[in-house]
Amino acid sequence: MVQSRQKFIYGNYSIRALAGFNFKKNQIEACKKAILKVLKQENKLIEKKLSILDNKKDYFCSLKIALYPNFAMSEKPKEVRMGKGKGAVSYYYFPVKKGRVIFELKNVTNITALTCFSEIFHKVPKPLRLVSSFY
């Protein structure tokens, strides 16, 4: 049985998790900023090459984030006595299972996909893999 989001839906390249973990909201945001920084440079190069065409949007590189952090983790402050109810929400996360697609890249070259992968490799606590739909 195939788990949800193990297939390509949006793009040519995807980044998958090789182990299960909780992906925090700030980690997702850091990965998104790193990938968009690389894609912005690539889109500037594409725009210079395609200055003649009218419909340039079909050729630009884009990113699809395949998860949304909607689970809340609550914590009580340190050195607080037992009881008195549940603690406040400290952060939001998304539980990622093994093999799940985390990010998808559309209209990118192999070099750009590898650059995006190397940018976020150190921002995620568990091992990842770059998968191509061309094989």
Nearest to 112 by CA among 130, 133, 135: 130
Please work out, in degrees rounded to the nearest 5, the angle formed at the alpha carbon of residue 38 by the alpha carbons of 61 and 93: 90
Q: CATH code at 26?
A: 3.90.1170.10
Structure confidence by residue, pLDDT tens digits, 112-126: 999 999 999 888 889
Q: Say yes or no to pLDDT of 1 above 50.
A: no
B/e letters for 101-130, b = 16+ CB within 10 Å, e = fewer, are bbbbbebbeeebbebbbebbeebbeeebeb
* Domain total in the chain: 1
pLDDT for residue 69 is more than 50: yes
Residue 108 and residue 64 in contact, taking contact as beta carbons nearer than 8 Å? no
Residue 37 lies in a domain: yes
Q: Which domain holds residue 126?
A: 20-78+86-132
Q: Residue 15 class from Cβ within 10 Å (0-12 exposed, 13-18 middle, 19+ buried)?
A: buried
Q: State pTM to two decimals.
A: 0.82
pLDDT class for 56, splitting at 50, 70, 90? Answer: low
Per the CB < 8 A criterion, the answer to whether 23 and 116 are in contact is: no
Q: Kindly report, residue by residue over 20-31, the tens digit of the pLDDT.
A: 999 999 999 999
Instruction: Tell me, yes or no, whether 71 lies in a domain.
Output: yes
